[in-house]
Structure 1
Amino acid sequence: MIGFAFAGLLLGLILGVYCPFRVPPEYARLLAVAVMAGMDAVLGGVRASLEGNYDTQVFISGFFINGILAAFLCYAGNLIGIDLYLVAVLIFGMRIFQNLGIIRRLYMGK
């Protein structure tokens, strides 16, 4: 399973370096929040795997639903003139660091 993760990471890095893909500025915030939601889901999956309660359906549904919901909140905030992306960045940032701390403690065995 870890091999697939590293292969996907390597493929993504290669595609990112060699494919000239530009995100329009008006969608940059939406993409950033969706990426943070994806990172949160991946780290949550790693945490669940280390704790022994990983479920693929929960991971896949959380990955897509969190990303779509976060992007929709940012889009709705843009429509009404409120920067709701800051809320999503704050919450996902907190969850990412919390999951990283728990993963670190699980690897250290404490």
Structure 2
Amino acid sequence: MIGFIGLILGIIVGVVWNVNIPDKFSPYMSVAILACLDSVFGAMRANLSKNFKLDIFISGFFGNSVLAVALAYLGDKLGVPIYLAAVIVFGGRIFDNFAIVRRLLLEKAKSHRR
């Protein structure tokens, strides 16, 4: 729940402050945002599975985003678009976590109807 609240607050702050990011930083920001979303969906999954740990969420949230940006930067310096690999991996993990969250919510809804 903490991750979801943070996500909503982040969206509100982003809409209200209208932050403009230069085009040269867009690959880094896209990878960082995907890494953060991956952590949020992972936290939602862990919360529904009753094994959420705040320290793991926070370390994954910041650690994944910093690592993803660092790899994208390294790839940029080497002339290899490594950020595309990160986008594919984080995108896949987000869809996997969303599928599990959806199943867990449907199972809870079915058990409450009985």
**Residues 34-91 of structure 1: per-residue CA shift (max 9 Å, x gap):** 0000000000000000001000110000000000000000000000100000000000
In the alignment, which residue of structure 1 is the partner of 2:98? 100
1:38 and 2:40 matched: no
- The separation in 1 between residues aligned to 2:16 and 2:58, in whole angstroms, is 28
Matching residue's letter, 1:60: I
Q: Provide the secondary structure at the position in 1 that maps to 2:18.
A: coil
Q: CA RMSD in A?
A: 1.9
How far residue 12 of structure 1 moved from its aligned partner, in angstroms, is 3.3
How far residue 21 of structure 1 moved from its aligned partner, in angstroms, is 1.7
1:109 and 2:107 matched: yes
The equivalences for 1:85-96 within 5 A come to 85-96=83-94
- The separation in 2 between residues aligned to 1:58 and 1:15, in whole angstroms, is 25
Unaligned runs of 5+ in 2: 109-114
In the alignment, which residue of structure 1 is the partner of 2:5? 5
Q: Provide the secondary structure at the position in 2 that maps to 1:22.
A: coil
- The separation in 2 between residues aligned to 1:31 and 1:41, in whole angstroms, is 15
How far residue 17 of structure 1 moved from its aligned partner, in angstroms, is 2.8
Unaligned runs of 5+ in 1: none
Structure 1 residues 14 and 107: CA distance shift in structure 2, 3 A: closer
In the alignment, which residue of structure 1 is the partner of 2:62? 64
Structure 1 residues 13 and 55: CA distance shift in structure 2, 3 A: closer
